[in-house]
Amino acid sequence: MHMVQRALSAVAVVPKLKPGKHRLTAAFTGDTAIAGSTSKPVTLTIVKRGSAAEAAPDGEGNMNHLHTARRLTTGLAAGAVLSTALAAGTTGATAAEPERPPAAAPAADALFLDQLQLLVAPLLSGLGQVGQLLSVSQPEWSLPGVSTDIEWLCNGSPIAGTEGMWEYVPTEMQQGCAVAARVTGTLLGLLPLEYITNALPIPFIGQEDQTPQATAQPTVTGTAKVGQQLTGSDPTWDADGVENAYQWLRNGAPITGATTKTYLLTVEDAGKQVAFKVTGKKGSATGIATSSPVSVEPGDAPTATTPVRTTGKGRVGSLLEALDPAWSGSGTITTSFQWLRDGLAIPGATGRSYRVAAQDVGSDLAVRATGTRTGYAPGTSTSAPVTVQQSPTTTRAVLARKVVARGQRAVLKVIVSPRGGGAAPTGKVTVLEGGKKLKAMTMKASHEGRASVTLPRLKPGKHRLKVTYAGSTTLRGSKAKAVVLTVRR
């Protein structure tokens, strides 16, 4: 299930471990508003220094790690890093930090619910010529404490010796290259984020004046939200007769097939920076102009066209069940549930059904359904409340013998039954005659609703007896029909 909503996250450092495989889980105890949960187990493999093993997924989808915190290469040198992320009403997941993410990053709902994002993308500026200074502006990240690395590229390949350089002067080796920079942000416990800046073509010496230069950069219009369309504009070149070719970029990398002036944002763009690149060609000379990137927000949350509903009665022991809402929009929408007591989440109550408990008496119960779709904000629907009342009871009184001899003590059997079943009744039972208390006893759960009361010795004659059950926190009190006891003279 994809969790777009903001999640609770934490980073933990595992103690030093010996080489070998270690099966790890993380547990969140919860609080008054969020139910506790336990992650699925993951396997951390610690290898010895110099091992030929690679950091790659194993058959269980876990990672074999050649390092621990800060990219150390031995499992005995420091603790491995765990990233723990939980969302209300969901099961969290935990994994040790890989040295470098695989080409296809794991789904956000699989391992990392909280991701590093760019707030302000780095920008490459300067004159694209051999011997001219180029510089890259500092990025702004969505989280504090991010370590930022930079490396310069020529047609996408690293330029040796440029690691950590925020300024660079192209040499003759870069003639004919499109020069850019790859900026990488890393934060312990999260996947690294790479961004490739806008590129500047470096013409061959003597052909500088032939290269088209943009006097006005292209722009992007439209709503930067998943499911919405963006439109790019042509730049203004300093020469006539320039032929344009288009390419949309995601975090600086080309988006496959996105080579027209319009682009429909997809779920892969959520949380990313999207820009519009125009390559202008005149003869054999090529110029590049790139728009300012836009940050893509999750798509609009689905709405419940039919709200979530509940079935069942608001009585202790009764089972309430949630009926799925109908969500707007297309695509796969996953529904999860959280039961509420007086508007607050009930810890652990995240299933489709909920058994009404004693502590619910006097409260309103409801269920909140959350619909999640990859790349979109989550939608919610809350059912109408069900007020939990004391369950009604029936009380019966039966004389063991309706006629007893003078001086003999009669025995009265009392039966208390909750309507609709439920927990065994507890509470005070009183036997009355004409408003006067003859005998009282406390019914316990071990009685299972049946108890015998031995009455005091009564005078000869007829006695009209009444039995009352006072009730409990979960059961309503009730009265039995009167019975008549005859004591012979």
270-329 residue pLDDT tens: 999 999 999 999 888 889 999 999 999 999 999 999 999 999 999 888 899 999 999 998
Q: How confident is the model at residue 27 (pLDDT cuts 50, 70, 90)?
A: low
Q: Match 């004391």 to its residue by tokens.
A: 390
Q: Is 92 exposed, middle or buried (0-12, 13-18, 19+ CB in 10 A)?
A: buried
pLDDT in tens, 77-93: 223 333 333 333 333 33
Report pLDDT for 15.
57
- CATH classification of the domain holding 347: 2.60.40.2700
Lowest-confidence pick of 78-87, 166-175, 226-235, 304-313: 78-87
Position 107 in a domain: no
pLDDT over 50 (residue 245): yes
pLDDT in tens, 110-130: 323 458 888 999 999 998 889
Range of the domain at 140: 118-295
Based on the domain organization, do 141 and 15 belong to the same domain?
A: no
* Helix, strand or coil, per DSSP, at residue 474: coil
Position 1 in a domain: no
Based on the domain organization, do 180 and 266 belong to the same domain?
A: yes
What lies within 8 Å, CB to CB, of 85 at 6+ separation is 7, 8, 9, 10, 92, 93, 112, 113, 114
pTM over cut 0.85: no
Based on the domain organization, do 370 and 475 belong to the same domain?
A: no
Report pLDDT for 285.
86
Position 238 in a domain: yes
Position 2 in a domain: no
pLDDT in tens, 471-489: 998 899 999 999 999 999 8
Q: Which of 321, 354, 387 is the last residue of a domain?
A: 387
Q: How confident is the model at residue 13 (pLDDT cuts 50, 70, 90)?
A: very low
What lies within 8 Å, CB to CB, of 159 at 6+ separation is 151, 152, 153, 168, 174, 179
Based on the domain organization, do 152 and 14 belong to the same domain?
A: no
Report pLDDT for 358.
86
Based on the domain organization, do 140 and 227 belong to the same domain?
A: yes
Q: Is 438 in contact with 397 (CB distance < 8 Å)?
A: no
- d(CA 410, CA 403) in angstroms, rounded, equals 8
Based on the domain organization, do 466 and 355 belong to the same domain?
A: no
Higher-pLDDT residue of 391 and 458 is 458
Based on the domain organization, do 228 and 254 belong to the same domain?
A: yes
Position 103 in a domain: no
Q: Which of 364, 387, 410 is the last residue of a domain?
A: 387
Mean of all residue pLDDT scores within the chain = 81
Q: Which of 232, 261, 295 is the last residue of a domain?
A: 295
Q: How many domains does the chain have?
A: 4
Based on the domain organization, do 382 and 399 belong to the same domain?
A: no
Position 337 in a domain: yes
Based on the domain organization, do 259 and 155 belong to the same domain?
A: yes
pLDDT over 70 (residue 134): yes
Q: What percent of the chain has pLDDT over 90?
A: 62
Report pLDDT for 409.
94
Based on the domain organization, do 341 and 309 belong to the same domain?
A: yes
Position 33 in a domain: yes
Based on the domain organization, do 132 and 194 belong to the same domain?
A: yes
pLDDT over 80 (residue 52): no
Report pLDDT for 294.
94
pLDDT in tens, 378-421: 999 999 999 998 889 999 999 999 999 999 999 999 999 988 76
Q: Is 310 in contact with 301 (CB distance < 8 Å)?
A: no
pLDDT over 50 (residue 12): no
Based on the domain organization, do 247 and 367 belong to the same domain?
A: no
pLDDT over 70 (residue 42): no
- CATH classification of the domain holding 443: 2.60.40.10
Report pLDDT for 8.
41
